[in-house]
Amino acid sequence: MRFDVIYPQAVFYKGKVSTGLAIEISKEGYISRIDNISAFKESKRLEGLLLPGFVNAHSHSFQVALRGIKERFTEKDDFWKWRKKMYNLVTSLSPQRMYDIYFKAFSEMKRAGITTVGEFHYLHHISGRRWIGDEVVLAAAKDANIRIVLLSVCYLTGDFGAPPHEGQKHFISTSVKEFFDAIERVGGKASKNQSIGVAPHSVRTVPVKELSIVVKESQYQRLPIHIHLEEQSKEVEEARKFYGKRPVELLFSITRDLRNVTAIHLTQTPPELIDKFARLGGNLVVCPITEANLGDGVPDLKHSGLMKNKISLGTDSCLNISMLEEARWLELTQRLKFRRRGILVDETGELEIVLLNAMTLNGANTLSVVSGSIEVGAYADFVLVKMTDDVEDMLSALIFSGDRSTITATAVGGEWEFY
Ligand SMILES: [Zn+2]
């Protein structure tokens, strides 16, 4: 369903909730004009508050099929035990089953107000067919009408140079060249609302020499680069043993320009290195529900004022797909860590805009997508939410108390879906 001009009850525009504004949407799916309602002859009235569509900056959507399995604790269970279960799943997948799982995950995302997903995608080869997984994911995203940045994962070895585990064979590129050839191929198949990024999986699975090539080539091609960094203390210890450096220091040794680089997690990273990462231009995705579920820990987000404004959110293992939940736990885990309220506030003491940006604009920036903000020239990607009586505290109430029932519609490129 498409409308040329929409007239929401209220709209989040230029940093505040406003009324009386209408938005014109071009045939190509961009916002082409924002003006007073009196400037338009006809419009579609929308009840509720219009926000930029939520951006899920880090997802492994196939892991929705692991829900429940992860919660049976018969023996010592940790990240590494969970990972074995994930490998068992990928070995059993057919292309059709894979499509069904991704379609379910992307449809759930839409229902949760997510209009763009950064899919950190390593499930390249299934049923003995190399790279078929990339096409399956793009097909499922297209059918679910969600904007996708396929962050194609470069995965070259098992942990720290070890031969790949049976489950990891579904992810492996035989060389950096094969990986970039595959990126070019899948880029050629991307349709409307689809683009490509590069994701060297981690320093565990991409040797530093190859990591350097992948980073530099991606910078040359101006592709967003996403990498898992310092989620687990074991990864930090092993990197130290293998390279004599922490994972984040390895990255600093490769490039000092991190403007198109996004780290996922930084859970174990000391605050001074998080700050250095931010000063070099790097962005951060935090995934509070997954990090809690896997017992990873809580990153120190209190001490880098710069990083606070560059955090985005991801549903990661997709255990519970809710950006509102991720946003509130971004702040709540910091409160538990530092035993204080209001950790992620901006200079003026405001929290709600920081959290809203983490759900929208910052994620769009890390994925190089013109979205996350309601402004002329941006994609017409929206989420419509129910209004509360207290307009002043509406955004805080939404983030700290809202759930799926609060969300009444989404639009991707001007194509609406009502719930
Ligand atoms: Zn991840």
Nearest CA-CA partner of 88 in 65, 109, 71, 105: 65
pLDDT of residue 81: 75
Q: Ligand 1 centre and the CA of 315: distance in Å? A: 9
Residues 67, 135 within the same domain: yes
Residues 263, 357 within the same domain: yes
DSSP symbols for 165-217? PGGGGGT--SSHHHHHHHHHHHHHH--TTEEEEEEE--TTTS-HHHHHHHHHH
Residues 380, 360 within the same domain: no
- % pLDDT > 70, the chain: 97
Residues 85, 18 within the same domain: no
Residues 111, 224 within the same domain: yes
Q: Ligand 1 centre and the CA of 128: distance in Å? A: 24
Residues 114, 180 within the same domain: yes
Q: Ligand 1 centre and the CA of 302: distance in Å? A: 22
Residues 168, 29 within the same domain: no
Residue 389: band (very low, low, confident or very high) from pLDDT cuts 50, 70, 90: confident
Q: Ligand 1 centre and the CA of 197: distance in Å? A: 15
The CATH number linked to 321 is 3.20.20.140
Residues 201, 323 within the same domain: yes
Give tens-digit pLDDT for 225-276: 999 999 989 999 999 999 999 999 999 999 999 999 999 999 999 999 999 9
Q: Ligand 1 centre and the CA of 276: distance in Å? A: 22
Within 10 Å of residue 268's Cβ, how many Cβ atoms? 22
Q: Ligand 1 centre and the CA of 58: distance in Å? A: 6
Residue 190 lies in domain: 54-366
pLDDT of residue 74: 64
Domain count for the chain, please give it.
Answer: 2
Give tens-digit pLDDT for 61-110: 999 988 876 566 666 666 777 777 778 888 888 999 999 999 999 999 99
The burial class, CB within 10 Å (0-12 / 13-18 / 19+), for 266 is buried
Residues 243, 270 within the same domain: yes
Residues 144, 199 within the same domain: yes
Give tens-digit pLDDT for 12-47: 999 999 999 999 999 999 999 999 999 999 999 999
Q: Ligand 1 centre and the CA of 317: distance in Å? A: 7
Backbone angles phi, psi at 66, to 5 degrees: -100, 0
DSSP symbols for 43-54? -EEEEEEEEEPE
Give tens-digit pLDDT for 291-345: 998 888 999 999 888 888 899 999 999 999 999 999 999 999 999 999 999 999 9
The CATH number linked to 26 is 2.30.40.10
Q: Ligand 1 centre and the CA of 110: distance in Å? A: 20
Residues 20, 146 within the same domain: no
Alpha-carbon distance 419 to 411, whole Å? 12
Q: Ligand 1 centre and the CA of 1: distance in Å? A: 34
Q: What does pTM read for this prediction?
A: 0.95
Backbone angles phi, psi at 200, to 5 degrees: -60, 125
Residue type, 328: R
pLDDT of residue 72: 65
Of the CA atoms within 13 Å of residue 150, those in its CB half-sphere come to: 32
> Sign of the C-alpha dihedral, residues 247, 249, 255, 259?
positive
Residues 339, 410 within the same domain: no
Give tens-digit pLDDT for 186-230: 999 999 999 999 999 999 999 999 999 999 999 999 999 999 999
Q: How far is CA 120 from CA 8, 58, 206, 317, 387, in A?
A: 34, 6, 15, 11, 33
Q: Ligand 1 centre and the CA of 148: distance in Å? A: 16
Residue 7 gets the label, from left (phi > 0), alpha (psi -120 to 50) or beta, of: beta
